[in-house]
Structure 1
Amino acid sequence: MKHQFSNLIKVSLVATIFYFATLQAFAQDAGTRVAVVNSEKVFNESNLAKAMQTRLQNEFTKRQNELRDSAQKIQAAAEKLDKDGAIMNEAERVRRQRELADQDRELQRKQREFTEDLNQRTFEERAKIAEKANLVLRQIAEQRKLDVIVQEAAFVNPKSDITDDVIKALNSQK
């Protein structure tokens, strides 16, 4: 089974290389001008991305700290219950265990909400950056008379990579 999987990967890799070689040959024969941009680098290194990170951090730090503090309180209460549980009567121990379980469920719910909110806001902010980056890509394509701009290529010849130019153009915008 492992051998078959390995062969499948090899065949897939050869097919991918053949596809890109054919695409490149076709592009050269047709006189097509192709450039490549690394969008993750744009999302991580542009001034817009850094400002996004700062905004998100400012927006979510308080909630994150509250969640961390709640988790520490629950942990401390659980440790105290473990330590004092042997000398408590059964009813009191069960009551405290239920309280801890309820607090833990509430904390997990708040953590899920936090994660969902953070992901949603990150998506919104990245969409704004992508919109501006797409405008810059169109401008660069027109200036350089490019026919195609590819995102996230498996291999990029440095002379075809316009990522730094996109970041510079984004950084120069207000």
Structure 2
Amino acid sequence: MVAAAFAVCSAEAAGQEELDTSLRIAVVDPNRIVEESPQYESARQVLLEELNERESTLIDQQEGIDRLQKRLERDAALMSEDELQRLQNDIRSRTRRLRYEKEEMQEDFALRKNELRTRLVKQVEEVVAQIARQKGIDLILTDGVVYFSERMDVSDEIIERLKKEFADR
């Protein structure tokens, strides 16, 4: 990709004598940017709180089912056929509902996680573009770079800008 960028710039420069042939390239570490941004930590905390609330409800439901199951085991011999049938149906119904709610929680959690990640990625992309324009950077590379000097890495500036934007909200 870098070679292609140089080839394009060289071809253009050969055709125009007055064109500035210097190409400014930078590198970013997207994983580090995401992990060190306060937006990521905030989103992670929001997800954990949402997950903990729903898990607490599911645990309460499971405990209710366990109590009914113990009652069934303890009192089955003393119950009438109708009572026994009602209790077994209630346990089955609650178990089905719990299973459904667990699946729904997992789907909601995955969806919410993707929403937050998408929002963060968009925000990071905006900051990268701002810094590129401000510093006159022509090309910013990410994953797959074999070597780069620390001078080319603008990840710290992006993280600082994200921290500032987070603090300003």
Q: TM-score, normalised by structure 2?
A: 0.67
The whole-number CA distance in structure 1 between the counterparts of 2:5 and 2:144 is: 15
With over 3 angstroms needed to count, the CA separation of the structure-2 counterparts of 1:150 and 1:81, relative to structure 1, is farther
Q: Which residue of 2 aligns with 1:11?
A: none
State the identity %. 25
Q: Which residue of 2 aligns with 1:124?
A: 115
SS in structure 2 of the partner of residue 149 of structure 1: strand
Q: Over residues 64-104 of structure 1, what are the superposed CA-to-partner deviations in whole Å (9 max), with x where a residue is unaligned?
A: 21112112222343344345546656654443232211101
- 1:172 paired with 2:143, answer no
Q: Which runs of 5+ in 2 are unaligned?
A: 11-22
Q: Which runs of 5+ in 1 are unaligned?
A: 1-22
What RMSD, in angstroms, separates the aligned Cα atoms of the two structures?
3.1
SS in structure 1 of the partner of residue 69 of structure 2: helix
Q: What one-letter code is carried by the residue in structure 2 that aligns with 1:162?
A: V
Q: Is the 8 A contact 1:37 1:149 kept in 2?
A: no
Per the TM alignment, residue 46 of structure 1 is displaced from its structure 2 partner at its CA by 0.9
Q: Is the 8 A contact 1:48 1:129 kept in 2?
A: yes
Which protein is bigger by CA-based radius of gyration?
Answer: 2
Q: Which residue of 1 aligns with 2:102?
A: 111
- 1:52 paired with 2:43, answer yes
The whole-number CA distance in structure 2 between the counterparts of 1:44 and 1:133 is: 12
The whole-number CA distance in structure 2 between the counterparts of 1:77 and 1:151 is: 56
SS in structure 2 of the partner of residue 120 of structure 1: helix
Alignment size in residue pairs: 151
Q: Over residues 94-139 of structure 1, what are the superposed CA-to-partner deviations in whole Å (9 max), with x where a residue is unaligned?
A: 4323221110111122222222322333222223222221111002
The whole-number CA distance in structure 1 between the counterparts of 2:146 and 2:89 is: 56
Q: Which residue of 1 aligns with 2:18?
A: none
With over 3 angstroms needed to count, the CA separation of the structure-2 counterparts of 1:103 and 1:25, relative to structure 1, is same
Q: Is the 8 A contact 2:26 2:154 kept in 1?
A: no
Q: Which residue of 1 aligns with 2:60?
A: 69
Q: TM-score, normalised by structure 1?
A: 0.66
SS in structure 2 of the partner of residue 153 of structure 1: coil
Q: What one-letter code is carried by the residue in structure 1 that aligns with 2:105?
A: F
